Chains A and B, each alone.
Chain A
């Protein structure tokens, strides 16, 4: 039986039910790890470590979770804080080998993907980091602008501006695809 996030959190906090938390981890692991891979510039090992740390930190802080925001928003905020903090501490230490490995793997996968996916990735690559994150959170993950602002620790207006600018850029870059889809 699939319980919703609130029920699972209640079980974890009230009964110390770790199996309920395992369900939450399984529910969000793919999305969070994928998001963090983007945030970690393709370093999959680092992204997975950060995701793991985020889940552990969230578990420890769960009794203090008041439910004002969605669990996913709260979890993403913890994860983003961890990554940003890690980046600040380890700015020069980029695991280039891991990045190269990931990119090589991506290249193989990309060769099998449709042109649309490849061009979408290229177009996303044209955006600034902040624009890319804002688009990812709002348009891919479905967070509201307010939730994205909370996660990114940015003013709401700044997030809206990032999304609008990114949208305009993507609209221009991908218009050939859109025309193709529109024309059938």
Chain B
């Protein structure tokens, strides 16, 4: 049985079943005859129903930028800091290194506490 012009007819002579190019020919015909479906608002309907970008992802990105800014600022401070001069002055004035470190830690803690409180209020 064969189909030609929409009519089913008895099969003529057996025809090359083993033809290797049949798959190629069939693929071409199937693809050639496939219509392209216009978007016609389909994509927009899909996009309208997508959930918003998860907050976590945005937060992660913001945190990454903050870390980068802190590292950059620290690097600039370290680069510009006159360490040798400070040590010399400290030796001349007989200032204890321990008291200097203690003051530094205390002021850092005050700054951090202030930052945390400000962030919570915000």
Contacts and interface: CB of A to CB of B under 8 A. Distances in A.
Interface string B41-71: 0110111011101100110010000000000
B4 A176 contact: yes
Nearest to A19: B47
Contacts, number: 115
B64 to A, nearest CB: 11
Contact of A113 (B9, B31, B33, B46): B33
Given A140-B30, A167-B22, A178-B22, A119 B47 contact: no
Nearest to A115: B5
A32 B38 CA distance: 12
| Dominant secondary structure at the A interface | helix
Interface stretch (B11-19, B75-83, B86-94, B101-109): B11-19
A21 interface: yes
A41 interface: no
Interface residues of A, number: 47
A71 interface: no
Contacts of B47: 18, 21-22, 25
B11 A172 contact: yes
Interface in A92-118: 109, 113, 115-118
Contact of B4 (A16, A115, A140, A167): A115
Interface residues on B, range: 35 or more
Contact of B58 (A16, A30, A56): A16
Interface string A158-184: 000000000110111111111101000
Nearest to B45: A52
A118 B3 CA distance: 10
A74 interface: no
Given A139-B23, A167-B23, A176-B12, A116 B29 contact: yes
Contacts of B37: 29-30, 33-34
A117 B28 CA distance: 11
A120 interface: yes
B100 interface: no
Given A21-B50, A173-B3, A178-B25, A52 B42 contact: yes
15 contacts: A16-B57, A25-B43, A26-B43, A29-B43, A30-B37, A30-B39, A52-B42, A119-B3, A119-B4, A120-B29, A167-B22, A171-B19, A171-B22, A174-B3, A178-B22
Interchain residue pairs A-B with the least CB separation, the first 5:
A16-B53, A175-B15, A140-B30, A30-B37, A117-B33
